[in-house]
């Protein structure tokens, strides 16, 4: 295999790696995060692909910079590897600027790498990799952050609102995981009316605030957590003829006047809930009115929680919606730099692996050559 063929192979692999990296990034940028109910682990898994792709791409850039000696031959490779971005994102003059930034940083990195290789007596991949690759990662982080900003602002996307929607979904998911551990009987899949009825029976404990006040007013029971008042109210309805005792479920009818009748038994019956539906509706209407949302009794608690969070999220973040996109772009840049050590580790690992393969197939080899060196000495 000739030297030119090997250079061509390295160039093609670098460009293909660039295509894969920019494609992977485009899949992330084009995702509608606000419309997906994803856990944090699912989001991290979706981000792994572009991270691995970019680290492998930069590892090939490093390999090419070290192996290909002539910078005039490297330049077409840097130009071509910076072009795929233009095919995966809406065209903008800013994309050309970002591509030019990458070409410049690759040329500078290759020049420093070449000088480092020439200046060393022994070839050391580990020591050579420490020169300049950090600057490449920094420049790539800047390019990705700029690309994110320009793509989201030029596309017909309300990115600030999407960011708020994503925050709402994430906060709702976290709330639905934490609240059941703090409130006995809370289940995100229960309906609002069912939840209110269980509170009135004392099945759900540790509830406080506006909902408790509405329940006390609706059920005329200042100690709703005990549940005894609900049992007494059912007995009174039966005695007054308002409720036919024969219509009650057997487990409630047979124990209606027994001390063994519990509030848990009452709330498990849909028929008993229908008896108190008027009070439940009153408590529900007053509650949703007090917090300023629209909800039906059949809505799940998770849906009600999302509506409450949405109201306050837009109340506090809505006025700053126009500033969210640049702040996200800036945050992305700092986040990428924060995890720069991870990227550097992956790039170095991939580069070492690539060179192991190149040495194994005799694509490259280390030779020793003698050089004549001029030495200045004192004249005699």
pLDDT score, position 33: 44
Between the alpha carbon of residue 350 and those of residues 60, 333, 356, the distances in Å are 8, 23, 10
Q: Return the closest-CA partner of residue 102 out of 18, 8, 13.
A: 18
Cβ contacts of 361 within 8 Å, gap of 6 or more = none
**Stretch among 29-33, 65-69, 121-125 having the lowest mean pLDDT:** 29-33
Q: Are residues 150 and 199 in the same domain?
A: no
Instruction: With beta carbons less than 8 A apart as the criterion, state whether 159 and 324 touch.
Output: yes
Best CA proximity match to 70, nearest among 10, 133, 7, 25 = 7
Query: Which is nearest to 143 in space by CA: 75, 188, 89, 181?
Result: 89
Provide CB contacts within 8 A for 127, sequence distance 6+. 116, 120
Whether pTM > 0.85 for this model: the answer is no
According to DSSP, residue 247 is labeled G
Q: How far is CA 197 from the centre of its chain?
A: 36
Nearest Cα to 24, choosing from 1, 62, 65, 52?
52
Q: How many residues are given for the chain?
A: 380
For residues 168 and 315, membership in a common domain is answered with yes
* One domain, residues 127 and 220: no
Q: What is the pLDDT of residue 57?
A: 92
> What's residue 281's pLDDT?
81
What is the C-alpha to C-alpha distance for residues 71 and 92, in angstroms, rounded to an integer? 29
Alpha-carbon gap, residue 88 to 29, rounded angstroms: 10
Query: Are the C-beta atoms of 280 and 297 separated by less than 8 Å?
Result: yes
Which distant-in-sequence residues (6+ apart) come within 8 Å of 312 by Cβ?
none
Domain span holding position 108: 3-158+324-360
Longest dimension (CA), the chain: 130
- Please tell me the predicted confidence (pLDDT) of residue 380: 55
Arithmetic mean of pLDDT, 335-357:
87
Let me know if residue 341 belongs to a domain.
yes
Calculate the alpha carbon distances from 147 to 78, 89, 125, 161, 367 in Å. 18, 9, 32, 19, 43
Summarised one tens digit per residue, pLDDT across range 78-124 is 999 888 888 888 777 888 888 898 889 888 888 887 777 666 666 66
Distance CA 188, CA 168 (A): 16
Instruction: Read off φ and ψ for residue 118, nearest 5 degrees.
Output: -65, -30
Same-domain pairing of 154 and 171: no
As a whole number, the mean pLDDT across the chain is 75
Let me know whether 231 and 307 are in one domain.
yes
**HSE of 262, CA atoms in CB hemisphere, 13 A:** 6
* Same domain as 168, residue 306: yes
pLDDT digit string (tens) for 142-159?
A: 888 888 877 776 655 445
Q: Is the pLDDT of residue 217 over 70?
A: no
The residue ranking higher by pLDDT, 104 or 165, is 104
Q: Can you give the pLDDT at residue 331?
A: 81
- 101 and 181 fall within a common domain: no
Rounded distance between C-alpha atoms, residue 189 and residue 206, angstroms:
19
Residue 117 domain-assigned (yes or no): yes
Q: How far apart are CA 153 and CA 46, in angstroms?
A: 23
Q: For residue 16, what pLDDT is reported?
A: 94
Q: In the chain, how many domains are there?
A: 2
Please give the average per-residue pLDDT across 133-146, as a whole number. 84
What's the whole-number mean pLDDT along residues 244-266? 76
- Same domain? 169 vs 58: no
Q: pLDDT band at 130, cuts 50/70/90?
A: low
pLDDT per residue as tens digits for the range 272-306: 777 777 777 887 888 778 777 888 888 888 888 88
Question: CA 350 to CA 60: how far, in whole Å?
Answer: 8
376 located within any domain: no
Q: What is the DSSP letter of 318?
A: G
Q: Based on the domain organization, do 315 and 274 belong to the same domain?
A: yes
67 by DSSP, 3-state: which? helix
- Reference 311, options 294, 327, 296, 325; nearest CA is 294
pLDDT value at position 34?
43
Residue 266 lies in a domain: yes
Instruction: Identify which has the larger pLDDT, 273 or 206.
Output: 273
The answer to whether position 371 is within a domain reads no
User: Of 20-24, 35-39, 130-134, 355-359, where does mean pLDDT reach its minimum?
Assistant: 35-39
Task: Say whether both 335 and 297 belong to one domain.
Answer: no
In a domain, residue 372? The reply is no
Q: What does the alpha-carbon distance between residue 15 and residue 57 come to, in Å, rounded to a whole number?
A: 8
Q: Are residues 150 and 206 in the same domain?
A: no
Same domain? For 170 and 258 the reply is: yes
């Amino acid at each position: 295999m000739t030297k030119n063929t090997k250079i061509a192979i390295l160039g093609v692999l670098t460009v293909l790696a660039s295509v894969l990296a920019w494609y992977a990034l485009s899949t992330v940028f084009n995702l509608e995060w606000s419309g997906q109910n994803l856990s944090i682990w699912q989001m991290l898994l979706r981000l792994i692909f572009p991270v691995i792709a970019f680290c492998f791409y930069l590892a090939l850039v490093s390999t090419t910079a070290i192996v290909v000696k002539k910078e005039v031959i490297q330049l077409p490779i840097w130009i071509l590897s910076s072009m795929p971005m233009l095919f995966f994102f809406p065209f903008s003059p800013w994309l050309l600027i970002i591509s030019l930034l990458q070409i410049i940083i690759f040329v500078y990195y290759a020049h420093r790498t070449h000088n480092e290789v020439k200046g060393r007596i022994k070839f050391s991949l580990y020591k050579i990799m420490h020169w300049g690759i950090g600057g490449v990662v920094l420049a790539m982080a800047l390019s990705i952050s700029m690309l994110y900003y320009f793509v989201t602002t030029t596309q017909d996307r309300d990115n600030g609102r999407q960011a708020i929607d994503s925050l709402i979904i994430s906060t709702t998911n976290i709330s639905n995981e934490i609240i059941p551990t703090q409130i006995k009987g809370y289940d995100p899949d229960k309906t609002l009316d069912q939840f209110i009825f269980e509170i009135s029976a004392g099945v759900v404990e540790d509830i406080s605030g506006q909902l408790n006040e509405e329940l006390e007013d609706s059920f005329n029971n200042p100690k709703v957590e005990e549940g005894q008042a609900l049992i007494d109210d059912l007995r009174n309805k039966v005695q007054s003829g308002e409720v036919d005792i024969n219509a009650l479920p057997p487990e409630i009818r047979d124990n209606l006047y027994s001390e063994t009748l519990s509030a848990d038994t009452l709330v498990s019956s849909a028929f008993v809930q229908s008896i108190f539906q008027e009070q439940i509706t009153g408590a529900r209407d007053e509650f949703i009115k007090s917090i300023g949302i629209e909800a039906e009794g059949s809505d799940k608690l998770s849906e009600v929680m999302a509506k409450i969070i949405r109201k306050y999220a837009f109340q506090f973040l809505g006025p700053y919606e126009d500033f969210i996109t640049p702040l996200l772009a800036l945050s992305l840049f700092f986040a990428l730099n924060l995890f720069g050590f991870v990227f550097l580790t992956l790039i170095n690992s991939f580069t070492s692996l690539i060179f192991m393969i190149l040495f194994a197939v005799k694509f490259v080899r280390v030779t020793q050559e003698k050089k004549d060196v001029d030495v200045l000495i004192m004249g005699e």
